[in-house]
Structure 1
């Protein structure tokens, strides 16, 4: 279950943690995981807490996939908590990009 925003008809949608829980409830023993949770749109701490809770609820059958991707500029802006402060993911992305430019 990968995270998608304003994608129209793409499976899983905007809440991979909810879809992961729903699919896991419908099974009894297989492992289930998120394809990608986009850290640039969420608090990494909140995502870690949510998936730790799911991991405990479903006896370790939960996997977490993380990523960083964007949508249209308008959708990206709408998803940000506070555009005036860089998020840790944004700072890391900027630092990595600067390092690539120096190489």
Structure 2
């Protein structure tokens, strides 16, 4: 299982066209995605942009670190057993679950 940070009660909801929340207590962002293949990638990129305080266009391509199509297939909600994928992207720990959850936390720099 990947190391994730839990969302605190004091988190702030941010709107990026999806369900994204900032957890100021542990500097993590929590997002949700649905069955749409593009929603996984969008949730990841928007969450990393929030954590790093950058525009999504300033981030390196996600495919430089992971195959987005393979990731989308791995975390498809239609899986019989839950799957969790963890990877590093632009100085952040990214955890993606087939339950529709994305958690992004900045690494200590």
Task: Output the TM-score relative to the length of structure 1.
Answer: 0.29
Structure number with the higher helix fraction is: 1
Structure number with the higher strand fraction is: 2
Task: Output the TM-score relative to the length of structure 2.
Answer: 0.28
Query: Computing the radius of gyration over CA atoms, which structure comes out larger, 1 or 2?
Result: 1
